[in-house]
A and B are shown apart, each in its own frame.
Chain A
Amino acid sequence: MIETIAFTLNDQPVSLRVDSDRPLLWLLRTDLGLTGAKFGCGEGLCGACTVLVNNEAVPACQMSVKAVAGSDVRTIEGLAKNGQLHPIQEAFVAHDALQCGFCTPGMILKAYGLLVSNPTPTRQQIVDGMEDNLCRCGAHVRIVEAIQTAAKALKGGTP
C-alpha cells in the first residue's frame, strides 16, 4: 500500500511516499542509495543485510518499510561519525577481521546490537550472538577477536 512512512535514518529524519510493503533492504539500496546493507539470501538466513532498528540488529530483507515507521534505523553508512570510525569498525580493521568484505557491514552491525544488549560479553556469548551471520571467507576467529577488542575499548558502555 502506498503511504507516507517517516523514520529516522542515520540520525536524519526521512519521510517517503512508498509502497510500505516493500522490503526495507531494497528501499535502502534503491530509492535511498545506501548500498552498505547487502543482499545475500533474501530469507533472513545469512545476515549480510543486517541493519539496526532501534539499536536491535535485524535482517533488512525481512523487514517491511512500514515495520520501521517511527523507528530509529541505522545502516553501516551511519556508524562512523565525522570520518571517525566507530570502535567496532576500528577493531575490524586492526584485526583484519574481513576478507572479501561482503558480510562485513552486517557483521559489524550485528556486533553492535550484541554489545547494546550485553556490553561485556564472554567469548562464548560473542560466538552465540554472531551465530546467524555467515562468512564464507572464514574470518570468524578474527571477527570474534575484533568484537572482544571493541568491547574492551567501549569499557562496558553503550556502543
Chain B
Amino acid sequence: MKSKPAQPEKQAAGVAPPASVTRREFLKRMGLLGGGLIVYATVGDMQAFARAAREGFKGAKVPVDFNAFLKVGTDSRVTCFVGKIEMGQGPITSFAQMVAEELDVLYESVDMVMGDTDRCPWDAGTWGSYSTRYYGIFVKEAACEAKGVLLELAAERLGCPPARLVAQAGVIYDSNRAGNRVTYGELTQGRVIERHLKEVPALKPVTEYTISGKPYLRRDAREKVIGAARYTGDIRLPGMVYAKILRPPAHGAKPVDVDTSAAERVTGVEVVRDGDLVAVLHPYPDVAQQALASIKAQYDRPQTGVNDNTIFEHLLKNAPSPVVADQAGDLQMGQKKATTIVEETYLNSYVAHAPMETHTALAHFENGRLTVWASTQSPFGVQRQVAEAVGLSAEKVRVITPFVGGGFGGKSASAQAIEAARLAKITAKPVMVMWSREEEFFFDTFRPAAVVKIRSGLDRDGSVAFWDYHVYFAGQRGCENFYEIPHHRESVYGEWRIAPGIHPFAVGPWRAPAANTNVYARDLHLNLMAAAAGQDPLDFRLRHLKDRRMRSVLEAVAQKIGYTSAKTPSGRGIGIACGIDAETVVAVMAEVVVDPKNGAVRVKRVACAQEMGQVVNPQGATIQMEGCLTMGLGYALAEEMRFDSGRLLDTNFDTYTIPRFSWVPKIETVIVPNPSLPPKGGGEPAIVCMGGVLATAVHDATGAKVLQLPMTRDRVMAALKNK
C-alpha cells in the first residue's frame, strides 16, 4: 500500500455505531493497512446474523455488528474484505461484481481480500452454497452504504445538492455541470473514516444492473495458469521445516511401542514427541518422510469386524430414533387406497472428498503471536481451534487462507492446522504440515454410508397413494417432499454430522450433504413406481407436481435433451432426477449405455436445468453446474472407500478412482431465468441429481435396478441377473 498509516476519524455527519474494543482494534489494523473509507454495513436481519456469529464463535469477542467491509483507497481502488475463502467455486469474481455494481466503480478496480482473520469480518465458514445467497447481501449492503457516504461527502465537497449528483465508475459529478466532479479516492483523502448513514439507500433494482448478472471470466485465472497463485503449501518462510507425523495403521489403533531412534540419527532431522503426536521435522519433506519410515511402532488394533460390506447392517442396528422431517395426511389411509406396493432399500457407501490439494498448514510464532496459513473452509474456526490447542487467546492467532485447492466440504475440518501450530510452538520454527495422499484419505471426514428404505403405493389411477420414507445416517437435507402426495412421511435416523462412535472413522459434510443420497433413492424409487404404473417417468413426476419452479426446470431439461414420452424401462437409457438444494431447483436428464457383458456404464449425455433466482455471474454458475455434473459421475459410478476394522483399503488414486477425461459426457446446461427471486445457491445443487439420474438411466436402459451406489460393474452385473 502506498498511502500513509492513518488513524480512524469520526466525522460529525452520520451516525457511528457504538464503539467496542474489538472494533477499535479492527479499525487500527485497517488504518495500518493504508487510508481509505470504511463503511459498516447494517443489514436487514442483523440480529439473526449476530446471533449466528456468536453461537458459531462460542462467546469470543468478534465484530458481529459490522459484518461486511469495504475500503476505498486514495487511489480509488476498492478493497472488499470477506471471511469467505476461494476454493474454485468463484466468489472472488462474483463478490467483486456485486461490489462494483452497488458502489458504481469499475469491476477491475475492486480487489478482494478473503479468509484472513486479521483483516476480514467474522464468518462461520465457506459451505452450504451460502456465499452469494447470504453473504452476498452483506457485501451489497456495504457497497450500497459506502456509495451513500461518498455521495454525502461529495455533496459537501462540490457544494451541490445530493439529488444532482451522479456516481459512475468511481467518480461523482454534478449532473448540471459535469466538470464539477470528484473521484472516490479524492474524497477519502487517505483518511480512515467511520461514518454511518441515518438511512441506508435501497439496493439497485435488478433492471439497472450492468455488471451483476453478466458473465465474467475467473479473475484469478491468470495467476493460476502461470503458477504464481499461492496455495498454503507454496508459502515459504526462512527457517521453515516440514513435519511428517506418525500415523496409526487403522482407526482405533493405539500405539504400544514407538522407537524413534533410527529417525533421530538422520542428519538434520528433529524428532518431536508430545503425547499422541510423534513427528519428524526436516527442511525437506522428502527427507522427513524417509526418516518417518524408519520409526518402528507397534499398535494394538481392535478387530471390530465392521467393513464396507457389513456396514449397512451395523448402521441399521445402531440407528438412533427418527426425527420426522416432513409429513402430510395419514399413511394408513394412504395404504388403504393403494393397489400396488413398491418397496425397496437403497444403500450408498462412504465417499471421500479427495481435493487435489491435501490438507496443508504452515504455522509460525513471532512476538507472541501465531500466524497460520491454512487450506481451510473455515479460517475463523481454525483460529479458535488453534488458539485452544496452543493456549493462546484467539486475538493472538491470525489465520490466513491463501487459494484453496478444492474443498467440497472436506476442508470444513482442518486438523492439520492444529498439528502445525502445536509443532511450531514446540520447535519455535515455522512448521509446514502437508498431508500425504494417504493421510488425506485416512483423515477425511467422509460422506457417510447410508441406508434409505422406501415403502410406497400406487392407487387405481396410477397416482402415488402414500410414501413412507426412512433415511438412516445420510441426513435430512433433500429428503423433503415437493410432490403432490396426499399421505407421506419422511423419517430421518441420524444426521451426517451427529453419529459419534457409530461410523468407523470421521464423517462430515460432502458437497450438498445428505441430498445426494436422498435424491438417488427418491428418483430411482419414483422410476420403479412409474414402471409399475406403466407410465413415462417424466409424465409421472409432472402429474404429481404443482410447484412452478420445479416444473420449469423439468420442462427445460426435457426440451434440452429432446425428450419424447415412453414407458420405462424404454431401452433408451434415459434417466431423470430432480431436487431442491440451497433453495435452487434443479433437474437433470442423462443418457447411458450399459455393457451387458461387464456391467460398465458409459454416460453419453447429461443435461441440466437449474433455476437459482437472480444470477450474479452466469459464467461462474454454469461452470459450477458443469463441475457438479462431472464430479457427481464419481459417487454415482465408482467412488467408495473400502475398509476393514478401521483400516482403509483405498489410500491413493490407483484404487480410489475419481472421474477422468474419458468418463466425461457431452454436458449441456440451462439456467432458467427468474429475476424475481434473490440469488440462490449454486455450488452444490446440480450434483445432488447425479446418483439418481444415472440409476434411473441404467434402469431405463436395462430394467436392472441398482440398489447401491456407486454402480460398479459388479453391482450392475448383479442387478442385471436379478431383474
Contact = CB atoms under 8 A, between A and B. Distances in A.
Interface string A48-59: 100000000000
A12 interface: no
A126 B217 CA distance: 24
Chain A interface residue count: which class? 35 or more
B158 interface: no
A131 B662 contact: yes
Contacts of A37: 227
Interface in B210-266: 217-218, 220-222, 224-231, 233-234, 236
Contact of B227 (A77, A93, A96, A126): A77
Interface residues of B, number: 56
B659 A140 contact: yes
B434 interface: yes
A92 B224 CA distance: 10
Contacts of B436: 42
Interface string B80-95: 0000000111100000
A44 to B, nearest CB: 10
A136 B687 CA distance: 13
Given A35-B236, A85-B222, A75 B626 contact: no
A134 B658 CA distance: 8
A122 interface: no
A140 B652 CA distance: 21
A36 interface: yes
Contacts of A26: 284-286
26 contacts: A22-B286, A30-B283, A35-B231, A35-B234, A35-B236, A43-B652, A46-B653, A48-B356, A75-B227, A98-B88, A101-B403, A101-B405, A104-B225, A105-B227, A134-B356, A134-B658, A135-B356, A136-B658, A137-B88, A137-B406, A138-B628, A139-B630, A140-B630, A140-B659, A141-B630, A143-B661
Interface string A78-102: 0110000100010011101011111
Interface of B: 87-90, 217-218, 220-222, 224-231, 233-234, 236, 283-287, 354-358, 403-406, 408, 434, 436-437, 619, 623, 626-631, 652-654, 658-662, 664, 667
B357 A100 contact: yes
Given A39-B233, A92-B221, A138-B631, A100 B227 contact: no
Nearest to A107: B225
Nearest to A99: B88
A38 B226 contact: no
Contacts of B358: 39-40
A111 to B, nearest CB: 11
Interface of B is mostly: loop
A134 B653 contact: yes
B626 A103 contact: no
A136 B236 contact: no
9 closest Cβ pairs, A-B complex:
A36-B227, A138-B630, A100-B88, A102-B405, A99-B88, A101-B224, A76-B227, A138-B627, A35-B234
Contacts of A139: 623, 626-627, 630
B653 A45 contact: yes
Interface in A113-159: 126-128, 130-131, 133-144
Contact of B406 (A30, A94, A100): A100
A80 B224 CA distance: 12
Contact of B284 (A30, A80, A102, A136): A30
In this complex, the member of A41, A101, A130, A134 whose beta carbon has the largest number of chain B beta carbons within 10 angstroms is A101
Nearest to B86: A100
Contacts of A135: 356
A40 B285 CA distance: 14
A45 to B, nearest CB: 4
B625 to A, nearest CB: 10
A96 B218 contact: yes
Given A30-B283, A75-B227, A138 B222 contact: no
A92 B284 contact: no
Contacts of B406: 99-100, 102, 136-137
B216 to A, nearest CB: 9
A42 B293 CA distance: 15
A42 to B, nearest CB: 6
A138 B233 CA distance: 22
B355 A41 contact: no
A101 B404 CA distance: 9
Given A75-B227, A131-B661, A100 B405 contact: yes
B283 A98 contact: no
A100 B661 contact: no
Given A38-B233, A135-B356, A137-B88, 18 more contacts: A30-B284, A35-B231, A36-B228, A39-B233, A39-B358, A46-B653, A75-B227, A92-B225, A93-B218, A94-B217, A100-B403, A102-B406, A127-B662, A131-B660, A131-B661, A136-B408, A139-B626, A141-B664
A131 B661 CA distance: 5
A73 interface: no
Contacts of B404: 100
Contact of B434 (A36, A39, A133, A137): A39
Nearest to A124: B662
B661 A127 contact: yes
Given A26-B285, A43-B652, A101-B405, A93 B222 contact: yes
Nearest to A128: B662
Contacts of B658: 134, 136
Contacts of A100: 87-88, 355-357, 403-406
Contacts of A103: 356
A93 B231 CA distance: 19
Contacts of B283: 30
A35 B664 contact: no
Contacts of B222: 85, 93
Contacts of A133: 661
B437 A41 contact: yes
Nearest to A91: B225
In this complex, the member of A42, A92, A138 whose beta carbon has the largest number of chain B beta carbons within 10 angstroms is A138
A105 to B, nearest CB: 5
Contacts of A43: 437, 652-654
A23 B221 CA distance: 28
A76 B623 CA distance: 24
A102 B357 contact: yes
A37 to B, nearest CB: 8
Given A38-B357, A105-B227, A45 B652 contact: yes
B587 to A, nearest CB: 19
B661 A140 contact: yes
A104 B223 CA distance: 11
Given A33-B236, A99-B623, A140-B659, A89 B225 contact: yes
B233 A108 contact: no
A140 B630 CA distance: 8
Contacts of B88: 98-101, 137
Contact of B626 (A30, A80, A105, A138): A138
